[in-house]
Amino acid sequence: MRIPILLAAQIQSTLASTSSSSTSTKESLSISGPSKLQSCTPTTFNWTSTSAPYTISIIEKSTQQTDQDQDQEELEMVTLDENKVTWIVDVVPGNQVSMLVKDSKGNTAETLSWTVEHGGIDCLDLD
C-alpha cells in the first residue's frame, strides 16, 4: 500500500514533533564562560536555552581571609529572557568568583571558580 505524499509528510511531521517533545522534557542547564577573568573587562557568559527567564548571579569568594573563614557573597545580577550576558568584572583582583544561572523551573548551573586577574581599576570601588 502506498501512502500519498501529503499524508506521508503529515505523518513524518507528527512523528518528528512527538519525538522532539519527548526529548525536550529533560532540560539540562549548563553555563560557559571565558578561560580567565580580568578586572574591569567585559566578559560574556552563555548558557543552554531551557526555560526563560533566567536569573544570573555572581558568587564572590574573598581570598583575603583564612580558608575556614572564607567569605562568600552572592550578588544577584540580572534576570533575562536571553541565554547570554556580558558583565564588566567589577571584582578586586585576587578574589575568586563563579557565575550561577537559574531558570524559571528552578534548574541551576554554576561555572568553576576563577581568580580575577589584574585588568583595569577604573570600575572598582577601592574604598
Q: What is the pLDDT of residues 17-53, one digit of tens each?
A: 433 444 445 579 999 999 999 999 999 999 999 999 9
* Cβ contact 77:56 at 8 Å: yes
Residue 43: give its domain's CATH number: 2.60.40.10
In single-letter form, the type of residue at position 39 comes to: S
> How high is the pLDDT of residue 70?
55
Percent of the chain with pLDDT over 90: 58
In which domain, by residue range, is 62 found?
26-115
- Structural domains in the chain (count): 1
Looking up cell 589584574 gives 118
Is position 110 within any domain? Answer: yes
Is position 15 within any domain? Answer: no
Predicted structure pTM score: 0.68
Q: What is the pLDDT of residues 76-95, one digit of tens each?
A: 667 889 999 999 999 999 99
Taking the C-alpha atoms of residue 59 and residue 34, their distance in angstroms, rounded to an integer, is 16
